[in-house]
Amino acid sequence: MEISEFKYTEKSLKSLFDVINYAKSNSPYYQKTIGDFLLKEDSFSLEAYKQLPFTTKDDLASNNDKFLAVPLNKVADFVTTSGTTGNPISLFLTKNDLERLATNERDSFKLMGKDHTDVFQLLTTIDKQFMAGIAYFLGVQKLGAGMIRIGPGVPQLQWNSILKYKPSTLIAVPSFIVTLLDYARENNIDFNSTSVKSIVCIGEPIRNEDLSYNKLGARILENWDVQIFSTYASTEMGAAFSECTAQQGCHLNDDLLFMEVLKEDGTEARHEESGEIVVTTLGVEGSPLIRYRTGDIAKVYRNTCSCGRNTPRLGPIIGRKNQMIKYRGTTLFPKAIFDVLEEFKVISCYKVIIDKDELNNDIITVLLEDKLKPSTINEVKELCKSKLRVIPKFEFMEINKLRGLVHKKHMRKPEKIKFN
């Protein structure tokens, strides 16, 4: 196996120097935190860069407005994070930042083999200060392709549009695709005869750490003859890691991000090792971020991809540092619970609730459909016991009520887990 000796280009290193210099000069937060950092272009090095302090989600939340690096009248778009791991955070985009966003998504689509002949259907929100929706819209425009903006939910509306406008590619949260397929079966829609050839999957993993399809990805492919592509992104970094047609991990766009993948001891993760993703945003004007700790943990792949690119690639997010669950002496991430539930094709919707007992220990409750057979529940419990080494509490409710708790109208992503 050829392990990539990827090194950032002179252009990327110049971009890294430029964004640090820019943040020092224009961002009130970085003026305070790295204002004394000696920065000289002729002696700038990665070793010096790694002496800079990290920026955390807590820093961004508690000093939100201080990250604004341009006058307010230069902000072309105001976006917020989804608030998955806490209160939503605002980010500020200039016209150039929007152009950067469009470039990233256009390049991502090209990695997937898309071009101007494609027609995309957007199954995620483009309003409510959501970055992903506007990013995909701008990227499709820059690609010169067509875009149908349907938004999230409403399976009937989605299928009406697919049958009428014949999109080639859907952009969607993958668990909603399962709901879409269930609706098609219930209404005699022959989904395999439609125009849809591929799905860009956002917000949820469709692969295991070894890049094989997980149960969610496999469930989609077992039913629908389409290609599905993984992505990883966050509002804070204003860019996405996306799979190419070789589908061997999500590629870093090194023109837009400088990435570290750091192990617990602070050293860089090597090929097929896991660590926390840390990024510096390149070319960002509105809210530049330096050594931003995403809290997301993933495996990094450093061998040359069969597509020929040697940029590092990421596997699916294994978990988030602040979502580690400790239950009856066992430590696990939400994904481990999801993986067990995804084993069962009869489970089309579920929600995990994390509470605390009087001793501040975690309590796991899994909400499931009330029409599941007792034998299925027993099988679920046995699989939990063998794979998780613990058995959560189970509660049951009517399926439409459960779906309403998961696919909330005001939420951008399915709320498959809630920490109380």
pLDDT at 12: 79
Q: 63 is written with which tokens?
A: 């000093």
Q: For 252-278, b where at least 16 C-beta lie within 10 A, e where not — what string?
A: bbbbbbbbbbbeeeeeebeeeebbbbb
**Where, residue-wise, is CATH 3.40.50.12780 in the chain?**
10-93+234-320, 99-229
Q: What radius of gyration, in Å, describes the C-alpha atoms of the chain?
A: 22
Average pLDDT over residues 250-264: 94
Beta bridge partners of 213: 207
Q: Sort 315 into a burial class: Cβ within 10 Å, 0-12 / 13-18 / 19+.
A: buried
Which range is least confidently modeled, 104-113, 116-125, 226-235, 327-336?
327-336
What does pLDDT average to over the chain?
90
pLDDT at 6: 63
**pLDDT at position 203, please?**
85
pLDDT at 144: 98
Residue 82's pLDDT is what? 63
CATH code at 324-419: 3.30.300.30
Residues in the chain: 420
The C-alpha atoms of residue 116 and residue 356 are separated, in whole angstroms, by 51
With a CB cutoff of 8 Å and minimum separation 6, the contacts of 74 are 94, 285, 286
Report helix, strand and coil shares of the chain as percent, to nearest 5.
Answer: 35, 25, 40
Q: Where does the chain hold its CATH 3.30.300.30 domain(s)?
A: 324-419
The CA distance from 250 to 234, in Å, is: 14
CATH, domain 10-93+234-320, list 3.30.500.10, 3.40.50.12780, 3.40.50.300, 3.40.250.10: 3.40.50.12780
What's residue 5's pLDDT?
54
59-73, 82-96, 205-219, 357-371: range with lowest mean pLDDT: 82-96
Name the fold adopted by 99-229: Rossmann fold (3.40.50)
pTM: 0.80
Instruction: Determine the average pLDDT of the residues in 156-169.
Output: 97
* Mean pLDDT, range 141-150, rounded to an integer: 97
Average of pLDDT values for 254-275?
94
pLDDT in tens, 69-96: 999 999 999 998 865 545 678 999 999 9
Instruction: Assign 320 a pLDDT band (cuts: 50, 70, 90).
Output: confident
How do beta strands 257-262 and 273-281 pair?
A: antiparallel
Give the residue from 317, 256, 273 showing the smallest Cα distance to 85: 317
The residue written with tokens 């809290």 in the block is 295
Beta bridge partners of 93: 77
What is residue 130's predicted lDDT score, i.e. its pLDDT?
87
Q: What pLDDT is attached to residue 127?
A: 86
Tell how strand 417-419 and strand 169-172 pair up: unpaired
Report the C-alpha gap between 6 and 107 in whole angstroms: 19
Q: What is the mean pLDDT of residues 284-290?
A: 97
Tens digits of per-residue pLDDT, 17-38? 999 999 999 999 999 999 888 7
